[in-house]
């Protein structure tokens, strides 16, 4: 629940992966259900579902775009050389 509360305070308000926590707040989930899910659903299954149903976050899209622009350019950091006499 903490993630959902903090998500509301961020400048990039997206549900993203937090969508997977919604059943916790809307229904009763038993330990047996959690155990069965953990034993039968792989991380890769979850990542595939997220990719198909949620897609990339806005942050991931921005990061990918920024990296593609700066891929073949020099670092934006300007190095200053000082002469000391």
> Which of 9-13, 42-46, 71-75 has the least mean pLDDT?
9-13
78 assigned to some structural domain:
no
The structure tokens listed for 26 are 């809307």
Q: Is the pLDDT of residue 55 over 60?
A: yes
CA 41, chain centre distance (Å): 20
Reported as a pLDDT band with limits 50, 70 and 90, residue 2 is: very low
54 contacts 19 by C-beta, under 8 angstroms: yes
The structure tokens listed for 43 are 């991380």
Question: How many structural domains compose the chain?
Answer: 1
63 assigned to some structural domain:
no
61 assigned to some structural domain:
no
Q: What are the distances in angstroms from CA 83 to CA 22, 79, 80?
A: 60, 13, 10
Reported as a pLDDT band with limits 50, 70 and 90, residue 76 is: low
Q: What are the distances in angstroms from CA 58 to CA 39, 40, 44, 78, 84?
A: 31, 30, 21, 28, 46
**Res 38: pLDDT:** 92
20 assigned to some structural domain:
yes
Structural domain of 27: 2-56
DSSP state of 20: G
Reported as a pLDDT band with limits 50, 70 and 90, residue 48 is: very high
């Amino acid at each position: 629940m903490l993630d959902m509360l903090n998500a509301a305070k961020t400048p990039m308000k997206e549900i993203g992966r937090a969508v997977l926590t919604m059943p916790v707040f809307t229904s009763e989930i038993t330990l047996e259900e959690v155990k069965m899910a953990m034993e039968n659903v792989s991380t890769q299954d979850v990542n595939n579902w997220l990719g198909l149903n949620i897609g990339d976050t806005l942050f991931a899209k921005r990061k990918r775009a920024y990296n593609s622009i700066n891929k073949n350019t020099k670092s934006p950091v300007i190095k200053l050389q000082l002469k000391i006499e």
